Structure 1
């Protein structure tokens, strides 16, 4: 799963380090770095989707830019203009960039401006402007998993020599998805998976999910720990979708036409917005992944396994990759249903 997953509306924000759920180790690390005067200039924060990477980056920005509280106190006031602007996403000294919807990679223009205005616009240029309010700037680049080699190379000088007092934060799901040149220039911070109790607290308190422990645990298993996906799966309509999908794929020989219709109906139900349709497809393929994992475990308990189940699991994983690469949705659904019916992996070279 990738940090390209669309944001879920969160009604209650984690507004301070004391309300950050499940990442006390990261809080202590930043506290020690600030108090020892050893805060790095470039960070790569990695971890599974939805567990709080962007929240940590925003809290660090508030900590460094708060006009009332010393950064060493790790207690941004939350009421000064800087704190309010960071929360609202309007602070002039916080530079943010991410992969645009509908794009498979972060465009070069996002980083260094269009061809006719190279280094006169974009993430790298904005970071190097003089701070407007205080003495620091904070630059947050989301979706670092979607940097290509050319884009990553544009960042190297910025990461190696950030402006004085500036902090650059890259956010991704895995350090292995970053080029070695990026990793070598950043302090890597790994946000470990949330415990079951922390994940449930996060879903209930900050996503306003009302569900039983059992239902939340099932959603987390389907989502592979992705909090955003789990929150969507716990919506009322998703229960109906899960039942419809599982009824189709539970048979030894699924009907590709019927399966395709069920998936298409669920995706169409997400509306016309491309990001919401992609999210619906990820949810469907996540349901399939969990189903085939369960089948593999059951087969292993019985002392045998089938190549068909393994191929269908692999196909479901490939389908999510294809969603993240902005594959044509109608073609993807048709190919997926056909491959599941025939128990093939769907390996068609680079697209898979």
Structure 2
């Protein structure tokens, strides 16, 4: 397959995904193989919550739409323009992918990167996300049958691979590092995201921050789980903006976590701020539990910037009004571009340079 062919295959996938949105999915006449795949994919989306209680249709549709917007020829060309990818992929490497399942299609970027660089993907999905990616792989193979020999899903032990990209918790990462110590690898651990507030944010910006907090119920590494606020900050405007997301408490799994974590905090005599579906706790850690966000005061922005740089290996992204280098705008954390790499590790460069 030439690079242009591979690009076109994923553009077709983007067109297919663009048809699906909550309450408004509709077939487009120019999309390939709708007769085979459209209805089955719509049914799979509706069934996703039965496979994983966190995968509500709203969250799955959001993920699908995000990938539909990313998989355009303009975005793919811009992404790959920084690399020299060999048109000859007759000697592909086999890349083992161990995927997480915290949010829908969380491993898709690794899958895309492996195939677009002309390699083979040997995939072990998370038990929490076993259906969406295999379905999309079937669609890609229908578009170009030569991909059939490039995509393999395995349930048991991973064998006969050259390189590994594995995502998991800090505990599983230690296992991965030992188990794959003789293989070139990218091993991803727990990370969290933070936001820096000044007290001058508009209601619209704070509402957008709610998207960064509550999208995927806070389960993603790009979800904001920590706030940095100036001394004397009033949370009144923050809580007013968060009211927009009050319906999150109607999801049983989220409500159970809210009740449990609030009870644990209160039994430990921690001081909490609470609005009935979100608790705020002053804490120096980055990783807050579901339904809670930690906060910490800062007095000097330059000192805070230095600390964030020192803690870079714990942070996925930072939301602010351009208060740090590479900060992300409010409401945009769950809309990464193709060139926004997890943990700031350039997957394409890794795949192109690893022998």
TM-score after normalising by structure 2: 0.31
Specify which structure has the bigger relative contact order, considering alpha-carbon pairs within 8 angstroms and separated by 6 or more residues.
1
Structure ranking higher in helix proportion? 1
